Amino acid sequence: MAHNKVRVKVPASTANLGPGFDTLGMALDVYAWIEMGIAEETRIELFGEQMKGIRADKSNLVYEVAQMVFAKAGVSHPELYIGMYSDIPLTRGMGSSASAIVGGLAAANALIGSPFSRDELFQMATALEKHPDNVGASLFGGLVVAFWDGERAEHIRIEPSERLEVLVAIPEFQLSTEKARGVLPRQLSMKDAVFNVGHSSVLVAALCTGNLEMIPRAMKDALHQPYRAALIPGMDTILREATQHGALGAALSGAGPTLLALVDRESPEKAGLERFLLETLGKENIGARTMWLQPDRGGVQVLTGFDESSTLFENIKGEVRA
């Protein structure tokens, strides 16, 4: 059924989880909301702090993504109302651009009666973002293991263990994915490739079977984190020592600069771990804020039955973190 106006709620995501470079993603319970409707003249309304600097004209990413969906479906809706609110920090490695892509695709698809399946949306999202880890997690929720061969993306979703909680330390500075990919080597040794295949495979098996005890040994990487460490002072120490402070494992979240620790929710060391992350970054004069997060399990949701006469922000006020 086509709609006049739709709203979607889309989760943030973390990519890589250490060794699963461009392959492993997890959805997190920080969200962006997008409202989309067919209009007489395009109007883009941005609510909240995180939207600063986002374009409010037809070069807006959500607008562009929506037009791609309409073109593929053979329909024309050049004028749109788009409202956006996001709690997902921008350019910090928490999948804000993937959430905009997935949210835009899901909203546009719902607006025209959902001609595309989730798998088709995943193909479109991956072709736009190029890495399936963030978009897969935002779309399907939970843990997503995926690859993209340049034409098709494949994925398997894993239900995260009930015991798994996530602590992120979000530095004050921004780091573009382009810059964080620019420091990676063009070639790698067979030894490092084998190291990552082994660690990533065991990490996925540990996550599938809920074997959290294996995570501290498996969550190690030789492909990207060693090269990115220079961009995030304190990161080396955090990755090396977080398990001594109660983390199951620590990793750079996506392309950074956010650092992430997987934690057993029953751990008695949570406060100490949080202090360790902030103090280690503080010693490098890096201001950061921490957030305790849960895996999001549902992925992008098309919201139904909302009050169309209220603004997006009025409607979600009770749910946002601001």
Residues making contact with ligand HSE (CB under 6 A): 15-16, 21-22, 131, 133-134, 177, 180-181, 224, 254-255
Contact 15, 25 (CB under 8 A): yes
Contact 56, 44 (CB under 8 A): yes
> To the nearest whole angstrom, how small is the minimum distance from the Cβ of residue 64 to ligand HSE?
18
Nearer to ligand HSE, 3 or 224 (CB): 224
> To the nearest whole angstrom, how small is the minimum distance from the Cβ of residue 10 to ligand HSE?
15
> To the nearest whole angstrom, how small is the minimum distance from the Cβ of residue 246 to ligand HSE?
25
Nearer to ligand HSE, 17 or 36 (CB): 17
> To the nearest whole angstrom, how small is the minimum distance from the Cβ of residue 25 to ligand HSE?
8
- The upper half-sphere exposure of residue 258, i.e. CA atoms within 13 Å in the direction of its Cβ, equals 29
DSSP-derived 3-state class of residue 106: helix
User: Which residues 6+ apart lie within 8 Å of 229 measured at CB?
Assistant: 235, 236, 239
The whole-angstrom separation of Cα 99 and Cα 227 is 26
Q: How many CB atoms lie within 10 A of CB 122?
A: 25
Nearer to ligand HSE, 169 or 316 (CB): 169
Question: How far, in whole angstroms, is CA 317 from its chain's centroid?
Answer: 22
User: What's the CA angle centered on 88, arms 87 and 90, to 5 degrees?
Assistant: 125
Nearer to ligand HSE, 8 or 137 (CB): 137
DSSP 8-state secondary structure symbol assigned to residue 162: T
Maximum alpha-carbon separation in the chain: 60
DSSP-derived 3-state class of residue 98: helix
Contact 316, 300 (CB under 8 A): no
